[in-house]
Structure 1
């Protein structure tokens, strides 16, 4: 039988959402195929291979996980079938069709990951339809669609004219009959024969196209036909169009920028590849000029006069049967007219506070002018007052109106200056570090006075600030301004004395010998550097307080002063106490383990720096580790037990010297079996212990005991110094 896999067949989407009907599983082999649950081959149902797990080639099948359906057509028929994945959406399905032991056709991807086939079936022949997956894990539900008919006609056709052609759009048929593969566009010129003027294909095919080769000015009837793998549909309802050449309209003003009250013209130009004839409608603001004739594609409206402001000019060309119309809009602004203002010159002998001057100005448009002044003068209406010394600038102006641009004229003149004197009060007594002192200086004409200082002082924000010890000179000046001449400077002098200071020592906790000493903070109320010294039970090293014994400690802070500051000092007394001393011991071993080489360690705190601490094993004393106590009173000792310890009881002792000179020790005991293993560590034991030099339990017996007891024991012994506090 003829078969065709739709490699480029275009399908519109078959509904892929969940169906109301439940999925119908197929048979597990071709021999056990389930009859298609449809009344005819223009139906669909939900099929599934979710229950299948078979390999490619099993029973000859082309794909994985194939489930089987059967159909025996009552008559010869050409049928199109497609599987659309729905659950999960988009899973990679396959189709294959068999007759007896012969595979007639198979397909994987006809539409995205969906499979589709077209076959010619013979009446009375039994066919097996297999739904499978491309991969071993490809399973799920599909809508299995069959079609033996053509689609219904395309819907809602529309057409838009273009030069020598048209753009045609439409909606897909309401009945896709299994899937549309393409569309054909049919054009019939008025009084002529229908011909195919365009076509599209795709997956799915687009529903619009542009046809060309049509005659401008001729009316065409346009229909659209849908095509599937079975054949063509009925044509759509016809729509009509008349192709036309395009035109372009432009609008300009002459001159380009019109002026209020002055005549101007509007020019309209229509251009096209075809001949342009007819008229245009021109609108200038709200003035409509209909039917202005086009001469060589242009029309002109002259003698226009408008007020200043925005102006919109538009033109519309209606077109002809073979030439499309067009329109254009030009936005411009009618600008205001110009004017000129004049102003008489000012007299040359103006002085500050002299007689007022009458001003004379005018506009050539007869508009009223107003006056303004800047600098050494001011205006009252048309009268000029001389209110300062320097340059006087006078302006006559008209601000313009809706039809007139603004304009102005300016004249200048010079005004003479006045004289003045300055007074400065005597200086107060001055001490370095004092609060800023007020300065009293004034100008006879009320101008601000500049006060400067030299030597051991300066001036900030009008106040006298002392900066050093020694002579201080203050000078008051007024340099004048545009209306006032400079004044003679006034000078005052004084001497700045040295300041006092106070030294304090901040409160701190009493030190403990051998412990970190609290920070001692000594300050000068003037922020000068302070020197610390100490006597008695403490001393100062590199600026830090260090306790050297117990008892009273006298701390003194001194500031020697400097060229600007008198000396200062303070002292305080605290009592130094001694720290607690402790030593700890760790035997890191398990019961039943070998003693030789077992790690031991000791740690001391509160010990006298520089003394020696020891870690010794007894009965016959042997030193395991020694160490020198650090400056912070701590020491760490590490070592291992000797390899030749005898069976029996032993002691492990760590010893050190406290800050007060008393010995501090801690010890623990352990017992070894004949084989050198631990049978007791501290209070933990395996069995009755041997004593040093006594009978030892057999090696086998001791081993049996520590094997019974399990994990080893770590002993940490601690003991304070023998003397109670």
Structure 2
């Protein structure tokens, strides 16, 4: 039967293997296994189980998703195989090998998540190699590598001496033969025999190690051998090393910081676990001091003087056969000599834009100093200008030279704000309502001046605007700024007088007694309300001009003014003429209608206001209506005819008094039938009528005729002067 063993090392794909070739899927069962697509068992190919979805234990398989390959060796052989996951990288693969129905070996995680096996195969026996996954989700591509040989020799060995040992490094063999499981280091002392002096193992093993137990001062030849599960490689080319104790060299200067022109020393110390003897070579800049003896591991070079600047000091210890040499470098700087600069204090009463200040500074080395300033001041040579308010910092300095350190001195002082004054021109005469007046105000340092006003005025857009009457106070201030102190305020006062106004009476027709009132319009040019009064032949009633007699009428328009305006007035004189006096009479009845209660009316114009007007019916006088003439010379009388008028002729008379005192009358006649109806009104009648109390036998017929006609009469009688009748 075949001998089986689980691999103990790493299998790394042979460089140059055809990893990029297409994956070859295996069979879906042991019975359907696909022959390995390799020429021999020192080859590799890309295998995949991505097409499989089988459970653990199915057909006896040890893992999930197992795909199957077959191989029948022609000779007995020991073979090492490893599956390296490639797609996806790092998926958890497994391997198992069967012969017939017998599981010969299986593995998971020999190298990380990759599986590996070592088997002894017998000639003529058919084997089934299963590639699977640790869990159901694990499937993909692997590089399936086979090896039946040992690796080639390790490459590029190197060795570094150490106290009582050495550090050995190398490169992995060019042919790993399936995977290196370890390296052995072989040491041969000069004149002695080779022995194994160190080694490493791992998956993969490291390619360096430290060898201990060697003799200091003895030369050794060192080789490295690679090992895999098949066996050892050839040894690498030998390299030589002589182990030594180490030494350490330090360099210091005394004092630590040398000063230009002053002597200093260099001290070299060599330390080691072993005794330190011999000499050191010391280099100070370009000055070489060879073979300076070591005393108790130290050497000193004294009396050194250098110019200022960088200085490199180095020391080299050559060592002995058993003690390695060492060296050290110390970089330092020879510093320049010191100097002191002084600067006189600044005056205490500095103000912005004040007089320049002369500066006084000096170096104790007699070197020239330069001045600089910061803050509220600036320099011009050795003159200080005061350019702001606040702290002024002045520095006197010398930058030093090749052998002298720079130095400076600084003084500070406070720069105060400058003073200023404000000028404000006197105020002009002020009248309420006037146009804005210009104001003239200025600061002695050219800063903008704030002008405010109180009382009967205000400042608007730099102009003085009058807002009322009374005192007006204007104040000019300049509050200063960060560089200027406030100025003393300047105050100007004045009184705003009331404005004048002009009253105008518009043209109007001269009034006539008893005629419509003429319109009189009076205005103030300031739009204030105007009061009208009249004297003489007219008066003002409820704001209207009314003629009360004939003759001169003086009309006066007055505006009393107000708190801001002076009074204003205007007057004009017109002549009032008397109108013609007229009275009219209206009998509103139809012929044939009943006279009792018939409406009658009278109207008078051009009559004397306050006199009485009457409406009387005759023969036997009866007053129908009376009225008082109004202020405009008019009167209206209304009434009805009495109910007990006798048949016959009657007169209806309206009487009044004209402006000139004469009586004014008008009348009309009417005739009543026996039944009390109208048979004549004015000039309209049917037949001869009796006088009051006369025979009225035929009046009924006449009345009937007028009723048939349906005529209605309104009698209007105009003025007749009594004297003219």
TM-score range, shorter chain: 0.5 to 0.7
Q: Aligned-pair distance for 1:19?
A: 4.5
Contact 1:151 1:176 in 2 (8 A): yes
Q: Aligned-pair distance for 1:200?
A: 1.9
3-state secondary structure, aligned to 1:325: strand
Larger deviation, residues 19-28 vs 696-705: 696-705
Change (3 A) 1:643 1:389: farther
Larger deviation, residues 362-371 vs 195-204: 362-371
Contact 1:162 1:245 in 2 (8 A): yes
Q: Aligned-pair distance for 1:255?
A: 1.7
Contact 1:3 1:118 in 2 (8 A): no
Contact 1:581 1:721 in 2 (8 A): no
Distance in 1 (CA, whole Å) between partners of 2:116 and 2:110 is 5
Q: Aligned-pair distance for 1:228?
A: 0.8
Contact 1:686 1:709 in 2 (8 A): no
Q: Aligned-pair distance for 1:174?
A: 1.1
Q: Aligned-pair distance for 1:194?
A: 2.4
1:53-109 CA-to-partner distances (Å, cap 9, x unmatched) read: 544334433234444444444443322122334455544433222333322211232
Larger deviation, residues 551-560 vs 665-674: 665-674
Larger deviation, residues 609-618 vs 374-383: 609-618
Contact 1:5 1:116 in 2 (8 A): no
Contact 1:250 1:270 in 2 (8 A): yes
Larger deviation, residues 618-627 vs 15-24: 618-627
Contact 1:391 1:413 in 2 (8 A): yes
Change (3 A) 1:309 1:519: farther
Contact 2:353 2:418 in 1 (8 A): no
Change (3 A) 1:379 1:111: closer
3-state secondary structure, aligned to 1:704: helix
3-state secondary structure, aligned to 1:336: coil
Contact 2:283 2:313 in 1 (8 A): yes
Matched positions, count: 725
Change (3 A) 1:632 1:175: farther
Contact 2:91 2:113 in 1 (8 A): yes
Q: Which runs of 5+ in 1 are unaligned?
A: none
Distance in 1 (CA, whole Å) between partners of 2:467 and 2:429 is 14
Larger deviation, residues 40-49 vs 164-173: 40-49
Distance in 1 (CA, whole Å) between partners of 2:675 and 2:30 is 82
Larger deviation, residues 270-279 vs 439-448: 439-448
Q: Which runs of 5+ in 2 are unaligned?
A: none
3-state secondary structure, aligned to 2:574: strand
Contact 2:593 2:707 in 1 (8 A): no
Larger deviation, residues 464-473 vs 46-55: 464-473
Larger deviation, residues 373-382 vs 9-18: 373-382
Q: Aligned-pair distance for 1:201?
A: 1.9
1:455-500 CA-to-partner distances (Å, cap 9, x unmatched) read: 8999999999999999675667999999999998754235799999
Distance in 2 (CA, whole Å) between partners of 1:106 and 1:346 is 98
1:175-223 CA-to-partner distances (Å, cap 9, x unmatched) read: 1111111112222232333232322222222222223333333322221
Change (3 A) 1:396 1:184: closer
Change (3 A) 1:697 1:211: farther
**Equivalences for residues 387-402 of structure 1 within 5 A:** 400-402=400-402
Contact 1:249 1:327 in 2 (8 A): yes
Distance in 2 (CA, whole Å) between partners of 1:91 and 1:692 is 155
Distance in 1 (CA, whole Å) between partners of 2:477 and 2:180 is 102
3-state secondary structure, aligned to 1:166: strand
Q: Aligned-pair distance for 1:40?
A: 3.4
1:698-717 CA-to-partner distances (Å, cap 9, x unmatched) read: 99999999999999999999
Larger deviation, residues 228-237 vs 242-251: 242-251
Larger deviation, residues 444-453 vs 566-575: 566-575
Contact 1:38 1:45 in 2 (8 A): yes
Change (3 A) 1:417 1:292: same
Larger deviation, residues 521-530 vs 602-611: 602-611
Distance in 2 (CA, whole Å) between partners of 1:525 and 1:114 is 115
Distance in 1 (CA, whole Å) between partners of 2:679 and 2:107 is 83
Distance in 2 (CA, whole Å) between partners of 1:685 and 1:19 is 154
Distance in 2 (CA, whole Å) between partners of 1:233 and 1:700 is 179
Contact 1:189 1:219 in 2 (8 A): yes
Contact 1:14 1:84 in 2 (8 A): no
Contact 2:678 2:703 in 1 (8 A): no
Change (3 A) 1:648 1:463: same
Q: Aligned-pair distance for 1:118?
A: 0.9
1:667 aligns with 2:667: yes
Distance in 1 (CA, whole Å) between partners of 2:304 and 2:11 is 64
Change (3 A) 1:355 1:146: closer
Change (3 A) 1:370 1:191: same
Contact 1:3 1:105 in 2 (8 A): no
Q: Which has the larger radius of gyration?
A: 2
3-state secondary structure, aligned to 2:705: helix
Change (3 A) 1:441 1:179: same
Larger deviation, residues 43-52 vs 201-210: 43-52
Larger deviation, residues 4-13 vs 628-637: 628-637
Q: Aligned-pair distance for 1:239?
A: 1.6
Larger deviation, residues 498-507 vs 549-558: 549-558
Larger deviation, residues 652-661 vs 501-510: 652-661
Larger deviation, residues 638-647 vs 354-363: 638-647
Change (3 A) 1:489 1:356: closer
Change (3 A) 1:216 1:99: same
**Equivalences for residues 57-456 of structure 1 within 5 A:** 57-87=57-87, 89-136=89-136, 138-339=138-339, 365-367=365-367, 400-406=400-406, 423-427=423-427, 440=440
Distance in 2 (CA, whole Å) between partners of 1:278 and 1:294 is 6
1:534 aligns with 2:552: no
Contact 1:690 1:697 in 2 (8 A): no
Distance in 1 (CA, whole Å) between partners of 2:709 and 2:24 is 70
Larger deviation, residues 320-329 vs 14-23: 14-23
Distance in 2 (CA, whole Å) between partners of 1:592 and 1:55 is 142
Distance in 1 (CA, whole Å) between partners of 2:343 and 2:43 is 100
Larger deviation, residues 108-117 vs 135-144: 135-144
Contact 2:183 2:199 in 1 (8 A): yes
Distance in 1 (CA, whole Å) between partners of 2:491 and 2:466 is 17
Change (3 A) 1:109 1:491: same
Change (3 A) 1:84 1:380: closer
Larger deviation, residues 316-325 vs 528-537: 528-537
3-state secondary structure, aligned to 1:723: helix
3-state secondary structure, aligned to 2:702: helix
Contact 1:85 1:114 in 2 (8 A): yes
Change (3 A) 1:25 1:161: same
Contact 1:581 1:720 in 2 (8 A): no
Larger deviation, residues 321-330 vs 586-595: 586-595
Q: Aligned-pair distance for 1:11?
A: 2.4
3-state secondary structure, aligned to 2:435: coil
Change (3 A) 1:389 1:242: closer
Distance in 1 (CA, whole Å) between partners of 2:30 and 2:644 is 88
Contact 1:539 1:547 in 2 (8 A): yes
3-state secondary structure, aligned to 1:384: strand
Distance in 1 (CA, whole Å) between partners of 2:719 and 2:504 is 44
Change (3 A) 1:91 1:520: farther
